[in-house]
Structure 1
Amino acid sequence: MELTRRLTDAAEKLFDRYGYTATGMDRLTKAADMSSRTLYKHAGSKAQLMAMVLSERDKRFLCRTDVKSVEALFDALKDWTATEGARGCLFLRALGETGGDTPEITAAVEAHKAAFAARIGDIVAMDIGRDDPLLTEQIIVLFEGAAHAAIYRGNGAVDAARVAAAALVKAART
């Protein structure tokens, strides 16, 4: 277990910084301080390793976004970008790099995005007292946009999205 954790931690840092395509197996083995044979034994392939990384990131991200209001959701994003870095969504970057042609990565991204959409739907329902699929979609778009705009605009993008989300939530309550 420790070896797998060391591998996924090292791989996540590299994939997050350099991307999936630019991160070669030599770089991964060096960062994880293991042989390529050991890496393949624990990960199977680079695509499987990326899927493992995305699965672990999914758990960490969903834990961080386990909140009770839309405002708190944007606070969680601001905290995430401050601690994890503002490089956009690793899930969407991995999907973009592979063009949806790598089943392991596509499945991990689809699972994460479905779980995250359900989480947003639950948060919206708690915040306004009822389900609202349109508001849920709007909050998802604001959140995803803020995560990517934070790359070049900093956390001001998250603050701007929070204000827009607050206006939408207020309108939905009336």
Structure 2
Amino acid sequence: MDTNPQLLAIAERLFYQRGYMATNMDMLARAANMSSRTLYKHAGSKSALVAEVLAARDRRFFEQVDGLDVRALFDALAVWIAQEGARGCLFLRILGETGAGEPSIVAAVLAHKARLREHVARIVQRDIGRRDEVLAGRIVLLFEGAVAASAWQGAAAIDAACGAAADLVTAARHP
């Protein structure tokens, strides 16, 4: 489906601020200034709309963090959180709300997280000169933890995770 970018932005904002379950199609239609019928014509279903929202968010996120080193990855996260807000990972929040019962949502979340893991693995390889899946996995956990902890600790969570990731990279360079 090729949903209107403005509708995707409105839906993303509402899903992020209110949650998936608390955001109904009537609310989305009002926010988008369209009838429910028009919304369903453009979006299909709520699960189809959220899958498109997640795909668009994935694209925007990776445009911002593409081609960086480990420190710059966390710097990009700080910018992302400053722009988008600190309410945790939208992908994981929606997955949690739906109980992994919507295949399109599960697929979007798994694709995003696999892409994040591969992106971090490439960054690690550039930083230390070799592939290290264990190190990449640890940095992903630090990254994900920083996303979650920034909701109550703000930028300090990102700074702490960045420091820990940099320490791991330094240790991997000089075993």
The TM-score range, normalised by the shorter chain, is: over 0.9
Deviant stretches of 4+, over 3 Å: none
Give the equivalent residue in structure 1 for 2:165. 165
Superposition deviation, residue 68 in structure 1: 2.5
Q: How does 1:20-169 map to 2 (within 5 A)?
A: 20-169=20-169
Deviation string 1:47-92 (CA, Å, 9 cap, x unpaired) is 0000000000000001111133100000000111111111110000
CA RMSD across the alignment: 1.3
Deviation string 1:30-61 (CA, Å, 9 cap, x unpaired) is 11111111111111100000000000000000
Task: Show structure 1 runs of 5+ residues with no match.
Answer: none
Distance 2:111 2:63 in 1: 15
1:12 aligns with 2:12: yes
Q: Normalising by structure 1, what TM-score? A: 0.97
Superposition deviation, residue 25 in structure 1: 1.1
Deviation string 1:113-158 (CA, Å, 9 cap, x unpaired) is 1111111111111111110000000000000000000000001000
Superposition deviation, residue 2 in structure 1: 9.6
Distance 2:116 2:165 in 1: 17
Distance 1:126 1:38 in 2: 48
SS, match of residue 28 in structure 1: helix
Distance 1:3 1:19 in 2: 20
Task: Show structure 2 runs of 5+ residues with no match.
Answer: none
Residue-pair matches, total = 174
Distance 1:70 1:53 in 2: 27
Distance 1:32 1:109 in 2: 25
Distance 2:149 2:48 in 1: 29
